Amino acid sequence: MRYVIDALIVISIFFAFAGVVGMLRMPDTFCRMQSATNISTCGILGVIIGGILYSAIYLGNAEMAIKLAVMGVFYIITNPIAGHILAKGAYKHGVRPENKMVVDRLEEDFEQ
């Protein structure tokens, strides 16, 4: 069981590393937001599930396990709202990528 928990946390570290590298390498703002979603979904859920197993089995502390589950649900609910509002706000503020996007229906439909 110990190795399962370690494997979950290592998977989570791998996805967080991929997200950080993506945020440093991607060329424009919206692609960086896609990589940020990578950090805050799989980079977090591995640690939270591993923490629930660890605190329920090795620490014997049900209160900590319940708090960790509440944190996981909270992250899953609030993260898309923050991402959506930030992307929409950046677009309305006038942020455009340097390289041209393949297709931009939002500009075609709203900027007549």
Partner 1 sequence: MSELLFFGICFLALALMLCFRIFIGPTVADRANAADCVDALTDMALILFALYTGRGIFLDIALVAAVLGFVGTTIIGRYLEGKL
Partner 2 sequence: MKKATFPAVISTAIVCYLFWLCITGQLAMLFEGEAAWQVLVAGALVSLGVGLFAGKYFIHERSFYLWHPARLFTGLLYCIIIFPWELLKANWDVAKRALSPKLPINPGIVKVPVDLQSEYGQSALANSITLTPGTITMEVTEETTDEGEQDYFYIHWIDVATAEEKEAGDAIKGTMEKWLRRIWK
Q: How far is the CB of 94 from partner 2 (least distance, A)?
A: 14
Chain residues that interact with partner 2, rule: CB under 8 A? 14-15, 18-19, 21-22, 25-28, 30-31, 33-35, 37-38, 41-42, 62-63, 66-67, 69-70, 76-77, 79-81, 83-84, 87-88, 91, 97, 101-107, 109
The total number of residues written for the chain in this structure: 112
Q: How far is the CB of 46 from partner 1 (least distance, A)?
A: 9
> Residue 15, Cα to own-chain centre: how many angstroms?
10
**If we measure between CA atoms, which residue out of 82, 76, 71, 9 comes closest to residue 43?**
9
Looking at the Cβ atoms of 73 and 104, the one nearer to partner 1 is: 73
Chain residues that interact with partner 1, rule: CB under 8 A? 6, 9-10, 12-13, 16-17, 19-20, 23-24, 29, 32-33, 36, 39-40, 43-44, 47-48, 51, 54-55, 59, 61, 63-64, 67-68, 70-71, 74-75, 78-79, 81-82, 85-90, 92-93, 95
Looking at the Cβ atoms of 97 and 104, the one nearer to partner 1 is: 97
Buried b / exposed e over 60-73, threshold 16 CB at 10 Å, is eeeeebeebeeebe
- Take residue 11 and report the two structure tokens written for it: 């998977």
- Take residue 98 and report the two structure tokens written for it: 């340097």
User: Distance between CA atoms of 46 and 21, rounded to whole angstroms?
Assistant: 19
